Amino acid sequence: MERLIFIVDSTLRDGSHAVSHQLNADQVRGYAQRAELANIPLVMVGHGNGLGASSLQLGRSKLPDREMLAIARQELKRSKLGAFLIPGFGTIKNDIGPAIDAGIDALMIACHCTEANITRQHLQYAASRGVATYGVLMMTHMATAGELLEQAKLMESYGVQGVLLMDSAGAYLQRDVAEKVGTLVSGLRTAVGFHPHNNLGLAVANSVAAVEAGASIIDGTARGFGAGAGNVQLEVAIAVLHRLGYQTGVDLYRLMDAAEYVAREVMKKPITIDAVTLTSGLAGVFSGFAPHAIRAAERFDVDVRDILMELGRRKAVGGQEDLILDVAMNLKQKKGQRPEDFQLESLS
């Protein structure tokens, strides 16, 4: 029962969705110092959607990725510094090369859960430059356990040190975690990780379910800082894992301090499950869509929940924020004709 669980802290990456990617230099430095004190094994830094994702589509970062990485690099000694990239968003030349030059120790390459072969170029490039690599499958509630294993095996063949399943929409139930993580653990030689979101209030329970199914990497954020209903609240998940007898090497008190710092100095409002984020989880929509959907709903005077449910039906994937506009316009047009058809009928 004393298995070591490798903790990935995405507060300075995925967390920044919650402040529309507006983390400033003091916040990056302040959190990195505290993560170092807490002995976090791997601290992820950069735009919320990864390197090179600062854009009109996804939101511009306050600080360029390379500045965020440079600041964090100065503060992290025992803790490793990691970056994240989705192929098609950033490129090797513009983003991965400069991040490696800035001194990252690890790189996660992520893609929609059925598209693993678009990560090969980037994973192999990073490995050739001596960086530890991880593959990340996103929106994994949309694929079966068997499909995920097939995709994870491709990533394994590209030489990764681990494959993480993301519950990007916060849509998993514990039994989904057990089945999908368990399938990867028995089918892969490489480590398996899980990255939960909390739309259905299950992020901590799902982290435990993942570890009990054999996962050895848990990826979360301090205070659950993140898109929509937030990520798994790392200090809580770690406390529970310690109670269950797992080791993480993390100093829990210091991590609590880091989480208090986030609540005090970084968050604009508490991370909570509200009508929008709960609907988002039920619809199986990427958590980062929520703020864009809220804006579109106001602009077109439609119910944001209708937008989210329709995005779920259309099987939108991460990065397709421009579809929100299409959907909101269509709902607006249809609303003029038959408003009764759009009263959350799909929630039933």
Cα gap 48→51, rounded to integer Å: 8
Q: Where are the alpha helices (DSSP H) in the chain?
A: 25-37, 65-75, 97-101, 120-128, 145-157, 174-187, 203-212, 234-243, 252-261, 275-283, 290-300, 304-313, 322-337
For 24, half-sphere exposure in the C-beta direction (CA atoms, 13 angstrom radius) is 4
Piece of 8-16, 89-97, 199-207, 261-269 that binds other proteins (CB under 8 A) = 89-97
Site for other proteins in 110-149 (CB under 8 A): 111-112, 114-115, 117-118, 120-122
48 binds other proteins (CB under 8 A): no
20 binds other proteins (CB under 8 A): no
Site for other proteins in 314-343 (CB under 8 A): 314-317, 319-320, 322-323, 325-326, 329
Question: Which distant-in-sequence residues (6+ apart) come within 8 Å of 174 by Cβ?
Answer: 202, 205, 206, 209
Q: Where are the alpha helices (DSSP H) in 233-321?
A: 234-243, 252-261, 275-283, 290-300, 304-313
Cα gap 220→348, rounded to integer Å: 31
Piece of 86-94, 180-188, 200-208, 218-226 that binds other proteins (CB under 8 A) = 86-94
Site for other proteins in 270-299 (CB under 8 A): 299
Piece of 52-60, 163-171, 179-187, 209-217 that binds other proteins (CB under 8 A) = 52-60
Taking CA atoms, 171 is separated from 19, 223, 317, in Å, by 22, 20, 14
Is the CB of 264 or the CB of 314 nearer to other proteins? 314
User: Which one of 20, 24, 91, 174 is in contact with other proteins (CB under 8 A)?
Assistant: 91
Task: Spell out, one character per residue from 226 to 265, where the chain touches other proteins: x when CB under 8 A holds, - when not.
Answer: ----------------------------------------
> Using CB under 8 A as the criterion, which residues of the chain lie in contact with other proteins when the complex forms?
53, 55-58, 87-94, 111-112, 114-115, 117-118, 120-122, 299, 314-317, 319-320, 322-323, 325-326, 329
